[in-house]
A and B are shown apart, each in its own frame.
Chain A
Amino acid sequence: METLDLFSLRTHFTRNRILLCFNGPISRSLIEEIGNALRNYLQADNALPSAAMDVFSIYIEMTQNIRHYAQSRGYGELESAATVVVARDAEDRYMVQAGNVVERADGAVLLARVAELAALDKAQLKAAYKTQLRQPREPGASSGAGLGLIDVARKSSLPLQASLSEIDENRAFFSLCAFI
C-alpha cells in the first residue's frame, strides 16, 4: 500500500500559508472545537481582536450554514461534510473558505445570491441585512434564515467569491471564500 506523501502535503500547506484545514463530516461539537483552535491560532498569529472576531464569525456562519443545509436536505452524517480552510493570502489577508456538497439547483441559486451580494457596497449590505433580519421566520427553521450569507459578505473586506464544481448529474460542490 502506498502511503501519503506527508512531506509534500506539508509543503503544500506551508506554501499556501494554511493556518487550519478540515475535511469531513462536521458535527456541532466539532464546529466548536475547530473554532476554539482557530481562535488560539489567530491569537498566536497576533491578529487584532476585531480581525480575529471577524474571521471566527465568518467561520461560524459558513460552517453552521453547511450544517443547516445538510439538515434541511435530510442528508446523513457522512453527507453533511464540510471542507474548511483558513489561510493567509499574498497581501496578508485572512482567507476563510468553506465548501460542501449541494443539490445542483441549490448551488445555482447560491451562486446567483453570492453574485448579487458581491455587487453591493457596505451600506447596501447593511440595508439588506436589516431587511433580512425583519423577515418572518420560516416555520420550524432553526437558523437565521439567510442572514448568515449577508453577514459574511458584510464582514469580508473584498467581494465574496464562490464557485460550483459538478460532481454528478444531481450534485455539485459549492465553495465560498471571504477575506479579512
Chain B
Amino acid sequence: MITGTFDMNDLNIASTQSTPGIQTDFRNGVLRMHGDSYPENSFEFFGPVIEWIESFLAASSDPLRLELRLIYMNTSSVKAMMDIFDMLEEAHGKGRAVSVAWHYDPRNERVLDLADEFREDCTFPFDISPDVA
C-alpha cells in the first residue's frame, strides 16, 4: 500500500523450505534476505526483489543496504543474486551509496566461501561477518 509520498510497495515474503524470507524497508533503504534459496525457478522468485531495487534506485538518492543471512543457494539463485549485485555495482559506479552486509554462522564455512565469491566481483562496501556465539 502506498501510504505516503516516500513509501512504495515494500516486500514482506515469508521464508519457505526452499526460498528465503525477504523484507524491504523503503523508508530506511534496507533489503533483508535470510534462509536457504533453492527454488526451481529462481528468476521468477527473485523478480520482485530486482524490481524493488530498481524502483528504489530510481525513486530516491538515499543509500541502499542489503542485509543478508542467506545460507545455501542453488546455482540458479546464485545467478539471480549476481544480477542483483550487478545492479548495485552499476549504481555504485554512478556514485550511489550501496552496501552489503552478509552475516553467517561460523560453524559452516561454505557460507563464507559463497559470500566471498560474490564479493570478489564487487567494488562497493561488502562486509562478511560471522555471528558471535
Contacts and interface: CB of A to CB of B under 8 A. Distances in A.
Answer yes or no: are A and B bound together in one complex: yes
Contacts of A60: 38, 74
B43 A61 contact: no
A145 B79 contact: yes
Interface in B53-97: 72, 74-76, 78-79, 82
B108 A28 contact: no
A50 B109 contact: yes
Interface residues on B, range: 20 to 34
A79 interface: no
B40 A28 contact: yes
Interface in A134-180: 137, 142-145, 147-148, 151
B27 interface: no
A36 interface: yes
Interface stretch (A1-9, A51-59, A100-108, A111-119): A51-59
B36 to A, nearest CB: 9
Contacts of B75: 61, 143-144, 147-148, 151
Interface string B104-121: 000111100000000001
Interface of A: 28, 31-32, 36, 49-50, 53-54, 56-57, 60-61, 64, 67-68, 130, 133, 137, 142-145, 147-148, 151
